Chains A and B, each alone.
Chain A
Amino acid sequence: MFVSQAGSSTLLVVDARSLETTARIDVGMLPHNLVVSPDHRTVYAALVGSQAIAEIDVATLSLRRTLLTAPVPRLRVDGSIIQEHADQDAFSATSCYACHRAGGAEPKYAGDRPFGLLSSQDGRSLYVTHLRGSRLTILDLDSGEIEETVSLTPAGTASEVVAIDRVEDEIWVALRPPQPSSDPGALRRLRADTLEPIADVPTGSDPGTILALPTRRAILVSNFESNTVTMHEMRGGDLGRSIAIEAAPGPLGLLQLDGNHVLALDYYSNSVSFLDLDDSSARTLALEHEGLPYANPTNAALASDGQSAWVVSSGTDGHLLQLDLPSRRIVRDVSIDGLSFGVAVVPGIVP
């Protein structure tokens, strides 16, 4: 299991059977979302504070390389030259982490916050959203270079591109206004081949995650501020029904369990909700184990056998919790760093 430990700039690798830590990989500032390559040989982590993606070699459990998601700037926003970048040959860097870090150059967190990740179906490209900058970057994973940058017109004040996923021949991205805000956000449908916009779908002011459900021909969005998870169904090339399911306060991450069930990670209520997509119902389970509460779940990943889910409790004390799905109980707890965020399970690793 790979856990992005945002607070300590590392990925933690944990053996799911022994629960032993097998590696702790220093990657860069604020690692958040994780995505596994289709061949399971690589894990990518969005380094929100280092303007880069960390590429982890699953075989060796090491950082293979970092990939910049935007060129290193020569000028500040006021037009003045960033002399330090010239002096230190920052333009050859593949991450801002070498200089911008705790105790290093200011600002500690550099860049415009790469956040959402989507692997192309052939595994040769990586789509990256940016919280700031209203854009989508496509990385060529063969060369490690930026293949294309797509600017996204804000939807009203919603300019931060939070999340991304693919459903059929469309790519959907979620846009939100800079927080805090009560202005509406939007889901933007893009043609997968050209990234041309198709239409916007209104949503709440703080969409958290979008999750494609190919077998249902639908896409889910967690509305962090309105405590709902909304399922948007596709009908041919058009949008069909939109069904809102009430979750517990603060739904953030979404994990598909099977064709009809999704797990919502309810950040603000220290719980998870089992969503039944057939009858639009939700059953909420408080995150507790042996009498102890666990705070702020963010994301989860399905175990290799599909019988349990690994849930990140991202409180100031971090925990990786094994949620047994048949019994819907927390059965194991692994201590991780506080303020962790994402988790990915890569089957079949033998360290």
Chain B
Amino acid sequence: MRTNLNVAVAVIALCTSMVACGSGGSSGAVGGAGGTSAGHGGRGGRSGGAEGPLVVSAQPGTVYGIVTDIGTGAGIAGAEVTGGGQTTTTDDRGTFSLEGLDPGEVTLAISVDGYAPAFASALVGDTTQPLLTRMKKQGTPQPYAADTAKTLSEKTEAGPYAVIFEPDSLDTDDTELTVSITPLDPTKERDALPGSLVAGGKTPSLLTPVTFAEFTILDSNGKRVNLKSSATAQVELPIPPQLRAEYPLDSKIHCYAYDPDTGKWEDFVEGTVQLSSVDGTTPVLAASVRHFSWYGGAPQGNNCVDVYVKVVSAFDGTPLGNARVEASPGTTTYTDADGNALVRSAVGGATTSYTAYQTGLDVDGSLTGMKGAKYIEFGKVEEDLVGLVQKPCTGEPSATPGQKNVLGSQRSPLTLTVGRVTGVLYLATAILTAGDDSTPGQVQVFLQEGIPDSEGTIEEPMPTSGAVIRFAEVGSSEAPQILTELVPDSGYYTTSEGASITPGKLYSVSIDGDGNGSIDGTGTAFALGSVEWTNPADGDTVSSKNFTASWSDSGSEQGGDAYAPVYEAIISSTDGTDSALYIGTDREFPVKSFGMPDAPLTPGDYTGSVIGFSGALAGGTLSTSNNITGAGVTGLFYSMSAQSTAITFTVK
């Protein structure tokens, strides 16, 4: 069942020579990269005049791309792009072009200060190949002296990402090193992973991402440092809360490191799920690494669906040939001349997203305002596809006999509409509050907009009026509700009469910032239930020995395994001399004196409070990941429980 639609388009203009424009305009050819057919198609038939200005760019041996920030969606200027023996730098809008490349697959390395290194592959062919690369802001640099044993970590809402160094394991004599751990939660930011998570060869098989991070170690000169060839290090990557039921303690998960030389995920070893050595409570994937790079866990998919997609223009519905289509998690391919493609995606875990993008030339300037401008446009949908026949994840995508009239089947392809937006970036904050027997639920969205600067930041965002924001329960057949703006020009949107929001269920918001019919971004979050203490009860007296605090969540019954809010429980002595803190997904914890994992609480009177969060957890000392994503939109979508009734109790 289709649950939400997220279409967003960006047009990034780059003025090119009229020679190039004329060439592209006159041929109108759609290339056959990836085995797709050559010849007319896509937009070649409607170049110029009344049919519109769009023409598929047909420069052979060319990759035209854009580098964006996965967190903000903004283009990244000044990024160095290297591949096929060439190097270039992105312009102010984050776009780049590499020309004269040899046919075949080329792997590009993209680097810029402040971001984890990124890699992307494109299939160079007869036409300009589009490439969209998302980069993740690098984790906090931490000092490290290479002659010491040390555990360094980066804390996120999923738990601590850690690397455990043995003394003298790094290949350097430099004593002033910095280590950056860049966490990546695939349930939120899959698109920033380099390469394709596919075990290939003769019989490709999809890998399903679980948890990832990038590890960068720099010496005092900013040069990258790695492990000695004889050394190993251990890494720990938290299992995302919504995947913890699927990967319990002692599970084995296949781990891979990204190899820039081959452009693939290699060095397959098994890692083990165990408790974090940093906080002792978070389930983490622990594995040995031999080389610091992008690293993570991705078992072979159990069940896959093969999805037919059709890429069309938001301008007039014309099918687009030679558009690059990416399923995530899944395969990458290119549309044929009729805009059709068949991609494979793995079932389970988070929802699957499908992205399409393409390059073109704006011959008469009516699209971009610049004649001969080269552009990339793209669109994205997130779908919870239901009814497709599931099959093993091994082998090439293929037609499924007997599968008809289901969204994503051959007769009813999933439409990826590629439209355009301006350079405006939308910032959204969406809050979901579950209802109960007496009070309806509520969803509130605050939407702002502005033009991002070179850092991707909007200095003075303005409230967005006129947006169309839809709200729906994932998996429900109910039509989405459209939120209304509370006060004109306020940027605040909500349901006019409340909403039926059940604790534990998953909901989505989709945001069409300018109200032009194409949706710019989406996010999902579980509705938090009511959280109440179960031990101790108000007024209880408990023994400090073996004291385990616990609470209930009314959303847990409805939510099932995937419902995994993060709880923060605080226990404080009334005289301020002792306390205990828990942050995690369990609904109980052994209470120990703060900072002293083996010491029980000091006897005395205490108060307790607990609160739950779902979606993007904001604030505190944790790294957060925006979970409203798309092209030109970013933001937080979360739900939190009301603060539980505070309890007072005595520890003896």
A residues with CB within 8 A of B = 5, 7-10, 102-103, 108, 178-180, 182, 225-227, 248-250, 267-270, 293, 295-296, 314-319, 335-340
Contacts and interface: CB of A to CB of B under 8 A. Distances in A.
24 contacts: A5-B203, A7-B203, A8-B205, A8-B394, A102-B303, A102-B393, A103-B391, A179-B287, A180-B271, A180-B287, A249-B229, A249-B290, A268-B290, A269-B229, A295-B259, A295-B266, A315-B259, A316-B200, A317-B264, A318-B201, A337-B201, A338-B198, A339-B199, A340-B201
Contact of A316 (B261, B264, B393): B264
A7 B300 CA distance: 8
Given A293-B262, A295-B259, A315-B266, A8 B287 contact: no
A17 B486 CA distance: 76
Nearest to B266: A295
Contact of A338 (B205, B269, B272): B205
B290 A250 contact: yes
Interface string B242-284: 0000000000000010010110111111111000000000000
A335 B201 contact: yes
Given A7-B205, A336-B201, 8 more contacts: A108-B302, A178-B272, A180-B287, A227-B230, A315-B264, A316-B268, A338-B204, A339-B268
Nearest to B393: A102
Contacts of A180: 234, 271-272, 286-288
B498 interface: no
**Top 8 closest pairs, chain A to chain B, by CB:** A318-B201, A338-B199, A338-B201, A180-B288, A295-B266, A317-B200, A337-B201, A102-B392
A186 to B, nearest CB: 19
B44 to A, nearest CB: 34
B223 interface: no
Nearest to B230: A227
Interface in B71-94: none
A337 B264 CA distance: 14
Nearest to A178: B272
Given A316-B266, A317-B200, A317-B262, A226 B288 contact: no
B111 interface: no
Interface in B390-405: 390-394
B392 A103 contact: yes
A248 B392 CA distance: 37
Contact of B302 (A5, A10, A103, A318): A103
A336 B203 CA distance: 8
Q: Which size class do B's interface residues fall under? A: 35 or more
Given A225-B232, A268-B290, A318 B264 contact: no
Interface in B214-236: 229-230, 232, 234
A335 B200 CA distance: 10
Nearest to A108: B302
B229 A248 contact: yes
B302 A102 contact: yes
A103 B199 CA distance: 18
A228 B357 CA distance: 49
Contacts of A248: 229
Contact of A103 (B234, B265, B390): B390
Nearest to B227: A249
Contact of B262 (A9, A179, A295, A318): A295
Tell me which of A10, A249, A316 has the highest count of chain B C-beta atoms within 10 A of its own C-beta: A316
Interface string B170-196: 000000000000000000000000000
A248 B291 CA distance: 14
A280 B67 CA distance: 50
Nearest to A226: B230
Contacts of A269: 229
Interface string B432-444: 0000000000000
A268 B293 CA distance: 14
Contacts of A10: 203
A8 B203 contact: yes
A267 B390 CA distance: 34
A316 B268 CA distance: 8
Nearest to B390: A103
Interface of B: 166, 198-205, 229-230, 232, 234, 256, 259, 261-262, 264-272, 286-288, 290-291, 300-303, 390-394
Nearest to A113: B252
Contacts of B394: 7-9, 102
Contacts of B232: 225
A337 B202 contact: yes
Contacts of B267: 267-268, 295-296
A39 to B, nearest CB: 30
A179 B234 CA distance: 10
Tell me which of B262, B265, B390 has the highest count of chain A C-beta atoms within 10 A of its own C-beta: B262
A181 to B, nearest CB: 8
B209 to A, nearest CB: 14
B265 A316 contact: yes
Nearest to A104: B302
Contacts of B286: 180
A74 B343 CA distance: 41
Tell me which of B201, B271, B393 has the highest count of chain A C-beta atoms within 10 A of its own C-beta: B201
B202 A336 contact: yes
A83 B346 CA distance: 29
B370 to A, nearest CB: 40
Contacts of B290: 249-250, 268
B300 A316 contact: no
Nearest to A106: B302
A90 to B, nearest CB: 20
A318 B200 CA distance: 7
A10 B230 CA distance: 34
A210 B202 CA distance: 30
Nearest to B196: A316
A16 to B, nearest CB: 17
B299 to A, nearest CB: 9
A314 B268 contact: yes
Nearest to A248: B229
Contacts of A9: 394
B302 A249 contact: no
A335 B202 contact: yes
Contacts of B268: 296, 314, 316, 339
A179 B253 CA distance: 11
B186 to A, nearest CB: 17
B492 to A, nearest CB: 46
B332 to A, nearest CB: 14
Contacts of A318: 200-202
A138 to B, nearest CB: 26
Contacts of A335: 201-202
Given A225-B288, A227-B230, A335-B202, A316 B270 contact: no
Nearest to A12: B202
Contact of B199 (A7, A178, A249): A7
Contacts of B166: 182
Contacts of A316: 198-201, 256, 264-266, 268
Contacts of A296: 266-268
Contacts of A7: 199, 203, 205, 300, 394
B356 to A, nearest CB: 25
A295 B393 contact: no
B307 to A, nearest CB: 17
B272 A179 contact: yes
A295 B204 CA distance: 16
B246 to A, nearest CB: 10
B393 A179 contact: no
A7 to B, nearest CB: 5
A336 B201 CA distance: 6
A269 B291 CA distance: 10
Nearest to B392: A102
B210 to A, nearest CB: 15
A233 B75 CA distance: 63
Tell me which of B261, B266, B290, B300 has the highest count of chain A C-beta atoms within 10 A of its own C-beta: B266
A147 B230 CA distance: 42
A293 B199 contact: no
